[in-house]
A and B are shown apart, each in its own frame.
Chain A
Amino acid sequence: MSKVYVLGGAQTDFERNWTKEGKGIFAILKEAMDDGLAAVGMTYEEIAKLNKDNRVAIFVGNFIAEKYCDQSHLGSLLTKINPNLYGVPSARYEAACASGSVALDAAITKVRAGDYDVAITIGWELMKTVSAKVGGDFLGHAADYQAEAKGVDFPFPTLFGKMADALIERYKLDETRFMKNLATISAINYENAKRNPQAQTRKWFMDEAQANDRGTATNMAVGGKIAISDCSQVTDGAAVVVVCNEKFAVEKKGSTAGIPIVKGWGHRVAPINFDLKMADSEFSACILPWTQKTVEDAYKRAGLSVNEMDFFETHDCFTSSEYAAIGCFGITEPGKEYEAIESGKISMRGDKPINPSGGLIGCGHPVGASGVRMMLDLYKQVTGQAGDYQVKDAKNGIMLNFGGTATTNYAYVIGM
């Protein structure tokens, strides 16, 4: 099995509303591909040339364009953005909010197995085509739709509100303190996003006091204990990451020096229903044992532990999911996540920063793009290209991307 190198890529500006711009699928695919290829020094002509020998393939991550954009068969759409892509193997991969990661998994696996020398992953979602309420229903398809989402207003905030309740109960937490911890998570993500020039919320105001002031006109409650400030964003966006084998890396860059590799990965699927998940984990130390296992698998394959992780990109679709992730990463024991939040350990000033990019809350959450965007941020950090949100001397980082209520779990460790 050969090593898999990460060459880089690009993301669109998550502040953009493509519907307002009058632009759709082909526009966002074109801009993301143009920018992604330019970032790694590739051209469409080069892809056509590689494709003559069947050396390149494209992997598309998207959750639910059928609903948002009335479009399926997403692997084939790229042919329309440039004729050089005619004949290039390309297909769509889906696992709800982990669609980006499952596409990356396919890309990495094909390169590792030697099927292709270069694999381009593009994750994307256009979510501003419909109202927040209609979009909320679409997202409900990431749960057991009939049992958990149908007819429910904003099903996911409701489910992650239940996650907040479950965390308080399982770990016997003081509710006021826990809600303040969630507000801190929100404020850190917004703060980090201010330094990310492509973050959706980079110009917004949010601080811990505002985030902890729930149920007001400017911070409405949306699902149980969860308010607007606890939620990730509705975002239009795409991200591209290019991975390759040693042969292509040398061909392209002269040597593999300075090119990070995929060191480890984990992929586990938990019971889909939230209640089943909670029943399944009733006797575990961790409330999300399959998520924890996913992270452990990735560490193990990398031959590393949490001690060697310089930063984390996690799936903070809600503050409660980032809260639970802290224990899954092993930053604290499960149940003692508050320690890392209150000590500032997970902020940019701490030694285990989570979401330097701003995460899903600050940077934005174009569902099918998020996994790819996380991988891109891992790449930027370990190569020192993260600009104002750079973690000093970052050598290794881990990403955790999940679909549904931490149902499909994916983790990747990237490092030098």
Chain B
Amino acid sequence: MREIKTVTVVGANGTMGYSVSGVFASFGNCKVYMVARKQEAADKAVLDAAGTVKADSVSKRLIAKTYEDLPEILPESDLVFESVAENIQLKKEINEKIAQYVRDDVIVATGTSGLSIDELSKTYPEKIRSRYTGTHFFNPPYQLQLCEVIPTSVTDKAWLKEYKDYLQKVLRRAVVEIKDEAGFLGNRIGFQLMNEVMQYAETHKDKGGIDYMDAILGSFSGRAMPPIVTVDFVGLDVHKAIVDNLYAKTNDYAHETYVLPKYAQAQIDKGEMGVKTGAGLYKSIKNEDGSKKRQVLDIATGSFRDMKKYDFPFVKNLTAALKISDYKGAFDSLKADGSLEAKLCLTFMLKYVLYSLATADAVAEKPGDADICMVTGFNWAPPIGVMVALGGAAETKKLMKEYIEADWLKKVDLDKLVNDNLKPEYDYRRYFRAGR
């Protein structure tokens, strides 16, 4: 593989565009041409990129450029990273432009999270197409190391190995190779869970709905941020685009869990997308004394109300044990607790393990790739680690049969998916929090 010294990022003014530029300029020690439509946007992107890696010294390797400069900078580039909006027509147009000026031995990567890599690669002549991949970083990439690499049907296998090595050893990415299927692996597992929790919020709206489900799946269950709070951060529009795409293009046992709940669509229709628009499923309002108050959407009424202070006994017992790192005691107490809330918490832990393993089986190279994706892409507990925390393969299978829909289990080979050969890629302990 050519040494990667010069990189062009097209669409560098987007969050992923400038963050990825920062990664190439820092760990990669590359000169990076950051291309935006307007010079001012490119100039701003340069400042943003250095900020993402907390190193002003890299800014001297970041150069703001516009589309007019492509004929000049593309022939010099060893790698081109396309990071324009998720629109197949737009991407094809940009690809044609790129193909026009690059050298024959260039590497081209697309940052798409939803489009078919094979389809996108077709714009390129055969020579270049063999070094075209989906190279999917997670936001923010300095904090989240995951990089899903998606080859096409014609990707050069020997080159791919070197490219993955580069991403891993030079750019310090956690690299997994994933098949060209919608959502790849990380987003498919993550957004399946978040959307299903949103569906459960609807069916449990009389108990509190959104904040009720988030309180059941607090930081003690393996995620620093509860699932629906995460959706609010991601943005309902982005969430909808991802789950709609997954619903349209995948067809596994969890297919119906990708249906966006009506209340979420209603918020989108109102322009309330989440944190970025000031309100979504949660919002913060200022009290008269200036202090902030968190409110949550009440699904039944469609209006915001104050957050409830749920006081589930199972949470008290679970966190008391986690506080002293008694993980066995913690999950034994969860399993023994008969309350609806404890059962919902356990159910989602089990569903997370099953869907992770089933999806990794379908689109990844090995089960451990699910651990890598969820830890380094979402900062969630490693699914195989969750299985171990719950008592191992046999115990987890037993619980799955008790807590997961029978018609789902009929569609998977449980003994093949959940077995004692599975070893977690990461220590699970830090992901089960006793507070904050």
Contacts and interface: CB of A to CB of B under 8 A. Distances in A.
Contacts of A34: 325
Given A27-B324, A31-B325, A203 B56 contact: no
B29 interface: yes
A20 B323 contact: no
Contacts of B172: 194, 203
Interface residues of A, number: 29
Interface string A14-40: 001001111110111011001000000
A311 B113 CA distance: 46
Contacts of B434: 21-23, 27
Nearest to B54: A218
Interface in B126-150: 142-143, 145
Interface stretch (A207-215, A299-307, A347-355, A358-366): A207-215
B201 interface: no
B277 to A, nearest CB: 28
A54 B290 CA distance: 62
A389 to B, nearest CB: 14
Given A22-B319, A22-B434, A205 B427 contact: no
Interface in B388-436: 427, 429-430, 433-436
B256 to A, nearest CB: 35
B163 interface: no
A21 B57 contact: no
B57 A207 contact: yes
Contacts of B224: 20
Overall SS of chain A's interface: loop
Contacts of A339: none
Contacts of A27: 323-325, 434
A205 B433 contact: no
Nearest to A216: B56
Interface in B282-321: 319
Contacts, number: 79
B57 A22 contact: no
B325 A22 contact: no
Contact of B430 (A16, A80, A216): A16
A21 B142 contact: no
Contacts of B324: 23, 26-27, 30, 80-81
Given A13-B427, A194-B172, A205-B27, A23 B322 contact: yes
A331 interface: no
Contacts of A31: 325, 429
A213 B324 CA distance: 43
Contacts of A19: 436
A84 to B, nearest CB: 15
B430 A13 contact: yes
A129 interface: no
Contacts of A21: 430, 433-436
Contact of B57 (A26, A203, A204, A213): A213
B323 A205 contact: no
B323 A213 contact: no
A147 interface: no
A284 B237 CA distance: 70
Nearest to A25: B324
B246 interface: no
B121 to A, nearest CB: 31
B349 interface: no
Nearest to B431: A21
A205 B325 CA distance: 31
Contacts of A281: none
Contact of A205 (B55, B429, B436): B55
A304 B91 CA distance: 66
A24 B436 contact: no
Contacts of A207: 26, 29, 55, 57
Contacts of A206: 55
Nearest to A31: B325
A13 B430 CA distance: 9
A103 B181 CA distance: 56
A55 B27 CA distance: 51
B55 A210 contact: yes
B53 interface: yes
A31 B324 CA distance: 9
B180 to A, nearest CB: 28
Contacts of B360: none
15 contacts: A21-B436, A22-B433, A22-B436, A23-B322, A24-B323, A27-B325, A27-B434, A194-B172, A205-B53, A206-B55, A207-B57, A210-B55, A216-B56, A218-B54, A219-B57
Interface of B: 26-27, 29, 50, 53-58, 142-143, 145, 172, 219, 224, 319, 322-326, 427, 429-430, 433-436
Interface of A: 13, 16, 19-24, 26-28, 30-31, 34, 80-81, 194, 203-207, 209-210, 213, 216-219
Instruction: Kindly list the 6 A-B residue pairs having the minimum CB-CB distance in the complex, ordered from nearest.
Output: A22-B435, A22-B434, A27-B325, A210-B57, A205-B26, A209-B57
